Amino acid sequence: MATQGIGRLVGIEAVGLRRRRVLAGGLLLALGLAGGVGGCQRDTRLAGRKLHGAQVRTVTHYGITLDQQASPQQVAFVALRAIRDDVLAENQAARDAALERQFDVCAGHRILESNVRRLRPEEHLYDVVSHWAPTVAHYARGFETDWDKAQVRLVLRQPPDPGKPESARCAVLMEVTDATGGPTASAVLVVHLAKDDGYWRVTHLGFERGRRTIAAAAAGAAIPAPGLPEPGGTVPGGSGASGRP
């Protein structure tokens, strides 16, 4: 009898083990399918898009050469004009060319520091940079296309100090106004920049919260690191209305 009891216990354990193996196998299959579906969705969304790695180099756009001696204001000008070209593009080819210029002025390595979702690097860069235009599109028509006019409007809020590590970041401010008029028509646009391989490049854009003139924004809060909410509440790659898939 004891032998039969032991046999039954062994049989029960064997059945339980097989069930656990089946359940575990099903769970792994489900997770694999879910990951595959998520990957397929991302691949479909990015199909036909030119993705970029974190690469910083000297480029020339709109008559401005952005080398390691270029100022934050010059980089901001090129970024904003490229965004204007993007928003006002008449066809997909013009839009793609404008987006390429935006990638040329992005701080790729610094942006990847904000990759909290652990996306593929090139996917995260695309998510961040492709959201620049939707973030500021409402005011894009008023962006200057001439450097001589733009440099008067672009104000460096935090001049870099070579003796301090935190000076590797700065912000360029520009007052913008839409055509509606009224007390809410004006805003202060902020272009956040960081040093990347010795070049000033853009990490993200946003607006000053509750400040509609540069004079009011001059004593603004400290500039956050890429990936953290800024005073205007914008987070790089955040969920704004986007004209891109």
How far from the centroid of its chain's Cα atoms is residue 93's Cα?
22
The mean pLDDT value for 21-29 works out to 43
Q: For 61, phi and psi rounded to 5 degrees?
A: -140, 140
Contact 35, 27 (CB under 8 A): no
pLDDT at 216 (0 to 100): 77
Residue 26 CB neighbours (<10 A):
10
pLDDT at 121 (0 to 100): 81
Task: Give the span between the Cα atoms of 234 and 117, in whole angstroms.
Answer: 17
Q: For a pLDDT cut of 70, what percent of the chain falls above it? A: 63
| Full strand arrangement of the beta sheet holding 169-177 | 155-156, 169-177, 186-196, 199-207
Q: Note the pLDDT tens digit of each residue in 143-175.
A: 999 999 999 999 998 766 766 665 689 999 999
The encoded tokens of residue 206 equal 């946003």
Q: Is 223 helix (H, G, I), strand (E, B) or coil?
A: coil
74, 76, 81, 85 alpha-carbon torsion, rounded to 10°:
140
Residues counted in the chain: 245
Contact 78, 62 (CB under 8 A): yes
**Which residue from 153, 108, 146 is spatially nearest to 127, judged by alpha carbons?**
108
The mean pLDDT value for 27-55 works out to 52
At 212, the pLDDT band (50, 70, 90 cuts) reads confident
